[in-house]
């Protein structure tokens, strides 16, 4: 019986410590953390995987275009340097 009481006390103390740490982060303990979790799930549910995939594709296309532009500018700079030095 004493062991069970000791373990229960440890669990209670651990729970208090977790609540204290979460409160230090600006939330109202575990309940506040759960509320933020629910809020985040609700917000993310409003964005479909297809929308994210489309946006990622668009970003990748822009990055590819910028990479090609950077390569062209590097070539242009090299050509300019070569013409200026006469080689």
User: Residue 87: is its pLDDT beyond 70?
Assistant: no
Residue-wise pLDDT tens digits, 48-84: 999 999 999 999 999 999 999 999 999 999 999 999 9
Residues 33 and 27: beta-carbon distance below 8 Å: yes
Compute CA distances 42 → 27, 46, 47, whole Å: 18, 7, 10
pTM: 0.56
Query: Which tokens belong to 34?
Result: 């759960």
Q: What is the pLDDT of residues 17-48, one digit of tens each?
A: 999 999 999 999 889 999 999 999 999 999 99
């Amino acid at each position: 019986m004493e062991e069970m009481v000791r373990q229960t006390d440890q669990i209670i103390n651990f729970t208090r410590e977790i609540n204290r740490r979460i409160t230090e982060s600006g939330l109202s303990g575990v309940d506040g953390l759960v509320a933020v979790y629910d809020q985040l799930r609700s917000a993310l549910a409003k964005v479909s995987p297809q929308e994210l995939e489309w946006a990622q594709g668009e970003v990748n296309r822009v990055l590819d275009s910028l990479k090609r532009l950077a390569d062209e500018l590097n070539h242009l700079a090299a050509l300019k340097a070569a013409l200026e030095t006469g080689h």
